[in-house]
Structure 1
């Protein structure tokens, strides 16, 4: 549980016991680089549409978040400004894909390893003292952790944020859990493609007089984690 830090006047973030294993695992899943992934952008767009239909408005941003030393949104959808295209299609989004671990609520979702619905982020002191409220005008949050099916390592989250308060209810929790499963399906798909690519990388010939190394690909499957 977050503890209050009197020097900052805020609640410290939770511990992240999976961090080291996550950093080790992500390269084998094809997710080592901080870069937008079109499959996850599409997932975020579909989540925004489904969540908007549920709550009856379109003031929603949605993310697929991989968490390391900071947070990176490999999938991102932001509501369209009046008279314009979605901000997810503009260069300004480059900086908005990254967030420190001290902001937002995904680190808490990751830590609790189950869905976190916050109808009103001001309802409890430990949630309300968050800079994402003032920076992004967030009033409501709904997130679910992405827990790797093979290793049990928590990798990140799928989440929705809103600039108005929402009553997520059971339907909201079931919705975000469904999109979390879809996110894990995509992670499995990306990992399988990455592993297939790695197995077919041509070996570079060793310099004369130096034997070619024996490459052990067993670790790529993730079975040692």
Structure 2
């Protein structure tokens, strides 16, 4: 049998392949995540924003087609306009291919981008121009029962910032807390 050729194209994809997408979507449905805001998850997002000093933080779940911010704190959004601000802010729903959370889910490990313009793969993402994201800090949400990456806990800012090891520890600790909340929801 001839050797299998090495496929380097997967490394070049801007949006990573997602073979767990269908199973993740089914698990999110079982957990009741991805269709409406969850006040407890909004509180986690607000706390992450407070600790990191970021204007935007989220608890994000990812299905096959989109990302849904089940928990969101966006200091740029007018609370009187509800969860989707037509004049700016992230809103609750974003296409799957936008942003950096899909990379965290695919890699199943935290991602720290202190300045997205330093990374060609991430600098070309539409959230840079459309939302003004200049920095990203995210950790995966691993479902304690299935072991599947369901989404992320993340923080973003419109200016580069040095998250450092402290930021990484903070986002991982917050992800661990949210994972426990997901475990409580599954009972």
Inter-partner Cα distance in structure 1 for 2:109 and 2:139: 6
CA apart distance, 1:28: 2.4
| Structure 1 match to 2:84 | 93
Quote the RMSD (CA, aligned, Å): 1.7
Contact kept? 1:142, 1:160, Cα under 8 Å: yes
Q: Deviations over 1:158-201 (max 9, x none)?
A: 10000111111111100000000111111112222xxxxxxxxx
Change (3 A) 1:2 1:91: farther
Provide TM-score, normalisation by structure 1.
0.72
| Structure 2 match to 1:79 | 75
Inter-partner Cα distance in structure 1 for 2:95 and 2:11: 16
Inter-partner Cα distance in structure 2 for 1:146 and 1:88: 26
1:123 equivalent in alignment to 2:118: yes
Count of aligned pairs between the two proteins: 173
| Structure 2 match to 1:28 | 30
- Consecutive unaligned residues of structure 1, counting only runs of 5 or more, are 4-10, 53-58, 81-85, 193-225
Contact kept? 1:40, 1:76, Cα under 8 Å: yes
Contact kept? 1:103, 1:130, Cα under 8 Å: yes
1:160 equivalent in alignment to 2:155: yes
What does 1:201-212 align with in structure 2 at a 5 Å threshold? none
Q: Deviations over 1:129-162 (max 9, x none)?
A: 0110111111100001111111111101110000
Q: Deviations over 1:3-56 (max 9, x none)?
A: 2xxxxxxx530011211211222232232x51101010011001100011xxxx
Task: Tell which deviates more after alignment, 11-20 or 63-72.
Answer: 11-20
- Consecutive unaligned residues of structure 2, counting only runs of 5 or more, are 1-9
1:186 equivalent in alignment to 2:177: no
Inter-partner Cα distance in structure 1 for 2:139 and 2:182: 15
Inter-partner Cα distance in structure 2 for 1:124 and 1:27: 34
Change (3 A) 1:183 1:17: same
Provide TM-score, normalisation by structure 2.
0.86
| Structure 2 match to 1:51 | 52
Inter-partner Cα distance in structure 2 for 1:20 and 1:94: 30
Change (3 A) 1:137 1:13: same
Contact kept? 2:15, 2:102, Cα under 8 Å: yes
Task: Tell which deviates more after alignment, 94-103 or 140-149.
Answer: 94-103
Selected match of 1:172 from 167, 172, 181 = 167
Change (3 A) 1:125 1:88: farther
